[in-house]
Structure formats: structure tokens, C-alpha cells
Amino acid sequence: MLAVAQRVLCEQKRWLSRDQFVEILSLAQILPGPNVCNVALMIGDRFFGWRGAFAALAGMMAVPLVIVLVITALYSQYASNTAVAGALRGMGAVAAGLIIGTGFKLVGALRTNPMQTPVCAALLVAAFATVALLRWPLVWVILALGAGAFALAWQRLKPRIAAQGRS
């Protein structure tokens, strides 16, 4: 969906430059909430204030919500049908793969991270092990790992900014 948003907003409507789009997207990504919803809110807000923000969000969610609920209602009627159940199982298996594949794509973005690669790898593995294997509650994992990661990144950013200031 973000690929479509970028094409329409930057190339067709020309409301935003590519730099502005990337800036909004990076903020949307560090904030909680669905990225594409946050992008819609922020762009609506920048042009038309809070009313624009909610118009953008509602416009993006309303029709898909109705469609997805209709599909769900139909699904619960046909859930006992083995072909339908099988199709859903197959789609579920693919959905798991889509998420894992997206994860692999994003690993490449860690190369420019100010924390060294072993530190990033350790944080990634720790998040996976505690949530996926140990099934710890997410809130504690994010608070504990996030605080540690913030401190590490804070430390690593200091010499780089100082070096930039000197040059």
C-alpha cells in the first residue's frame, strides 16, 4: 500500500516531494500504529489540519472495512467446507511467508544503523527469542530491549555527531 501511496502523492498529484514523503514515512515508522494509516493522518494534517487528518484516515479505512467484514461473514458460513478451509490455510501459510520475507528485506536497512552489526543482530535475536520462542508479553520485551537499545544508540551517535561538527 505504501508503494501506491508514494506513486499517487509524489508522482501523480505532486503534493509532496520524494524527500518530504520519506521524512513523513520515517516518522510514521518509528511511531506506533499502522504505518500507512499514520502517513495518511500526517499528510492530511499538514495540508488541512486535524479535519484533513481524519478525512484521510476515514477515506482509507471505510470501504475496505466493509469488504473485509463481508468476506469474514461469508467465510464463517463456509468454514466447514474443506476446500475453503484449505484455501484459508494455504493463504495463512503464505501470509506468514510474506511477513518473514518483509523482515529479510528490512534487515538490509540495518547496515546504515549507527549501532554495530553484532549489536543489531543480538537485539534482533533477543526480540525474536523472547516473543516467538518464550512467548513473553510484548510490553516488557519492548520496554526492556527498547531502553537498552536506546542507550546503546545514544552512545554510538555521540562521537559521530561530534566528528561531523569538527569537519
- DSSP summary character for residue 129: I
Which residues, in sequence order, are CB contacts of 35 under 8 Å at separation 6+?
2, 25, 28, 29
Total interface residues for another protein by CB under 8 A: 97
For residue 150, give the C-alpha cell.
536506546
Contact between 137 and another protein by CB under 8 A: the answer reads yes
Binder of another protein out of 17, 18, 23, 55 (CB under 8 A): 23
Q: Which three cell numbers stand for residue 63?
A: 470501504
Residue 160 CB neighbour total at 10 angstroms: 10
Residues numbered 77-136 forming contacts with another protein, rule: CB under 8 A: 79, 82-107, 109-110, 113-115, 119-121, 123-128, 131-132, 135
CA 153 to chain centre: 20
Q: Is 142 in the site for another protein (CB under 8 A)?
A: yes
For residues 38-67, which are near another protein according to CB under 8 A?
38, 41-42, 45-46, 50, 53, 57, 60-61, 63-65, 67
